[in-house]
């Protein structure tokens, strides 16, 4: 089946440093969603990107959808301890179901 | 509104036992689904339903059954538990059949099969 690859698997950063996670697909995505899962919690929807080259911001979080709609990124500026968790991208191919990436686990060193 | 409610939160089974994981949503969502989450493998779709009376298989359906007799409820049945089914299970719903709708997840069920 079609897959969404996500890197890195783990990221440890000092508090205040920036963080980026990337999602890639070999085929064009219809849209991409991003979720955050706190340790011990459940995934929570953050945002959806639909248009080629789309950029959306939520406070310190910046989400991008590539021009070819085959890749996406989530960038966090000046990380805080509240950013700890696992970030998942989830893409849709055509009218198929959502396919989740493997996630990036972010830990913050105070 | 409670959102998506899953029970139980934790369960330990012996190999061969059966059980049902419950999922209920009070948001009148058409779409409901079950995922399992294993370390390093993200969230994998087990079964899904686009409305009452309609179910379909996801990526990893073997060993699991579902039914959708009402809009609100979507139970997941393990007929004969195996150690490979040790995982965290999440139920999720969304308001439309399409793939543009955000998923709302329950709090999860942590299942251990010995």
- Greatest alpha-carbon span in chain B: 39
Contact present, B66 and B47 (Cβ < 8 Å): yes
**CATH code of the domain made up of A4-109:** 2.60.40.10
Model confidence at B40, pLDDT cuts 50, 70, 90, reads: confident
B39–chain A Cβ distance below 8 A for any pair? no
d(C-alpha A103, C-alpha A86), whole Å: 6
- pLDDT at position B99: 64
> Nearest residue of B to residue A31 by CA position?
B100
Segment B11-24 shows an average pLDDT of: 97
* Closest-approach residue (CA) in chain A for B108: A42
Residues of A with CB under 8 A from a CB of B: 1, 6, 9, 30-31, 33, 35, 41-45, 48, 50, 88, 90, 92, 95-98, 100-103
Among B1-5, B33-37, B59-63, B75-79, which stretch is predicted with the lowest mean pLDDT?
B1-5
Residue in B59, B100, B107 nearest the CB of A42: B107
Residues in B closer than 8 angstroms to A98, CB to CB, are 45, 99, 103
Cβ-proximal residues to B18 (8 Å cutoff; 6+ apart), any chain: B77, B78, B79, B80, B81
Mean residue pLDDT of chain B comes to 94
| Omega prior to A6 cis, within 30 of 0 | no
Shortest alpha-carbon distance between residue B80 and chain A (Å): 26
Residues 6+ away with beta carbon under 8 Å from A59: none
pLDDT above 70: percentage of residues in chain B: 97
The whole-number average pLDDT for the span B38-65 is 93
pLDDT at A3: 87
Q: Assign 3-state DSSP to chain B and report helix, strand, coil percentages, each to 5.
A: 5, 50, 45
- pLDDT at residue A1, rounded to an integer: 67
Chain B partners within 8 Å of A96 (Cβ): 99
Of A55 and B101, the structure prediction assigns the larger pLDDT to A55
Lowest mean pLDDT among A36-50, B21-35, B98-112: B98-112
Residue ranges of E strands in A29-92? 31-37, 43-49, 55-58, 61-65, 71-76, 85-92
B106 — contact with chain A (CB < 8 Å)?
yes
Those residues whose C-beta lies under 8 Å from the C-beta of residue B47, and which sit 6 or more positions away, are: B33, B34, B55, B56, B57, B58, B61, B64, B65, B66, B76
Beta bridge mates, A88: A35
> What percent of chain A stands above pLDDT 70?
99
Amino acid A98: pLDDT? 87
Question: What does the pLDDT average to over A53-79?
Answer: 97
Measuring CA to CA, how many Å separate A75 from each of A21, A58, A64, A83, A105?
Answer: 7, 10, 9, 11, 14
Q: Is B43 within 8 Å of A43 when comparing Cβ atoms?
A: yes
Q: Dump pLDDT digits (tens) for B94-103.
A: 987 666 789 9
The stretch B59-77 carries a mean pLDDT of 97
């Amino acid at each position: 089946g079609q897959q969404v690859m996500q890197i890195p698997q783990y990221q440890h950063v000092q508090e205040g440093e920036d963080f980026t996670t990337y999602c890639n697909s070999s085929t064009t995505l219809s849209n991409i969603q991003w979720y955050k899962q706190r340790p011990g919690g459940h995934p929570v929807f953050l945002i959806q990107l639909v248009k080629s080259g789309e950029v959306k911001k939520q406070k310190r979080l910046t989400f991008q959808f590539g021009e070819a709609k085959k890749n996406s990124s989530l960038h966090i500026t000046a990380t805080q301890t509240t950013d700890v968790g696992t970030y998942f991208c989830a893409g849709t191919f055509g009218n198929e179901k959502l396919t989740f990436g493997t996630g990036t686990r972010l830990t913050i060193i105070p | 509104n409670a959102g998506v409610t899953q029970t139980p939160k934790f369960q330990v089974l012996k190999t061969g036992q059966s059980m049902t994981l419950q999922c209920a949503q009070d948001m009148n969502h058409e779409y409901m689904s079950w995922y399992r989450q294993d370390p390093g493998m993200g969230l994998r779709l087990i079964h899904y339903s686009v409305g009452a009376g309609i179910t379909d298989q996801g990526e990893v359906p073997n060993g699991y059954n579902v039914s959708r007799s009402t809009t609100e409820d979507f139970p997941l049945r393990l007929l004969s538990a195996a150690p490979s089914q040790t995982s965290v299970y999440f139920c999720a719903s969304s308001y439309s059949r399409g793939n543009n709708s955000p998923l709302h997840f329950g709090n999860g069920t942590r299942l251990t099969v010995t």
